Amino acid sequence: MALQNISLKQLRYFAAAAEHGRLAMAAAHIHVSQSTITSAILQLEATLKTQLFIRQSHGVSLTAEGSRFYSRIRDILNSLEDTLSDTSLPSEQIDGMINVGASYTLLGYFLPALMGRFRARHPAIKFNLLDMAREKIEHAIISGELDLGIVLLSNSQNLERFKYTRLLESPRKLWTSVDHPLLSESRLTLDKIRQYSYIQITVDEGERSTLRYWQQHNLKPNIGFRTSSMEALRGLIAHGFGVTILSDMVYRPWSLESKKIEAVQIIEPIANMEIGLIWRHDAELTQAADIFKTFLIDTCNVD
């Protein structure tokens, strides 16, 4: 393979397409033309001699090879970003312990990679990381047991009790098997989706958030199965036993048995899943906690 034929721009454009699922959205996000991204991806596929994306009418999705390549490229791009951000080494190592609470979904799909990047910058800072439900995290912040909480802001009812900042907004899409009848619909609506069995995830107040956006449209899903296991949900969907609506943050294009799962945009507006950082109004954060808070805000940079 001629590595000199692969540029950093190609890798950035590939990553943007993988993360957005639509070339137009990826192009808008990184301020280039759609044709520039298309050309970069075609050149990359030619150099690697493998197909990285499946082209569909509603966007693009990664192939198995593309998914593996993306996971490696994302690490490389993150490492490069961290290296360029560290313009100088600190004169002394900052140490300390940070008490952080996070819920199931965020521990599995959001926080570990960020913590790994932070540790590379600040190896002397330690974490006391607790797996907690959102309500318990909020109580622990108020009581002072936790310095920081990583929660689904979209599930919280009393954010005024805290200082908080958004870290990520993740759009919700319909997940189906590759041969599901809904994929043939030109306009995919909740009314059409409710005609099929719906698989409901129950962790992190999943059922409550699901009913919230269905009820906004005066509709109700046809729930055929409830589960707390994301892998069980993926397997059932991939084998055609039902559909679900979940955020891009937890989407993976393959089940454990390597069966493909599609993610498709829905016509009706559905609120994004919002991930955020909370801390107590009157809390004076330790130096270590304040550095981690700043790192998360700067790295996620959603505002």
**Segment 133-150 mean pLDDT:** 96
pLDDT digits (tens, 9 = 90+) for 143-165: 999 999 999 998 988 889 999 99
Phi, psi of 165 (to 5 degrees): -145, 145
Look up tokens 């906690």; give the residue: 289
Phi, psi of 103 (to 5 degrees): -90, 170
CATH code: domain 3-85 is 1.10.10.10
Which tokens hold the place of 250? 């937890």
The confidence score (pLDDT) of residue 89 equals 46
Domains 96-169+275-300 and 172-271 share a fold: yes
In this structure, are residues 289 and 148 in contact, taking their beta carbons and an 8 Å threshold? yes
pLDDT digits (tens, 9 = 90+) for 191-221: 999 999 999 999 999 999 999 999 999 999 9
Close Cβ partners of 232 (under 8 Å, ≥ 6 residues apart):
none
Query: Which residues pair with residue 59 across a beta bridge?
Result: 56
**Segment 68-72 mean pLDDT:** 83
| 100 has pLDDT over 50 | yes
Which superfamily does 96-169+275-300 belong to?
Answer: Periplasmic binding protein-like II (3.40.190.10)
Look up tokens 């910058």; give the residue: 121
Strands 125-131 and 59-62: unpaired
Domain spans of the chain, in order of start: 3-85, 96-169+275-300, 172-271
Integer angstrom CA distances of residue 247 from 11, 18, 105, 256: 24, 15, 11, 19
In this structure, are residues 20 and 1 in contact, taking their beta carbons and an 8 Å threshold? no
The confidence score (pLDDT) of residue 82 equals 65
The mean pLDDT of the chain is: 87
Give the separation between CA 299 and CA 303, rounded to whole angstroms.
11
CATH class given for the domain over 172-271: alpha beta
Closest listed residue to residue 5, CA positions, set 53, 44, 49, 52: 44
pLDDT digits (tens, 9 = 90+) for 3-16: 567 888 888 888 88
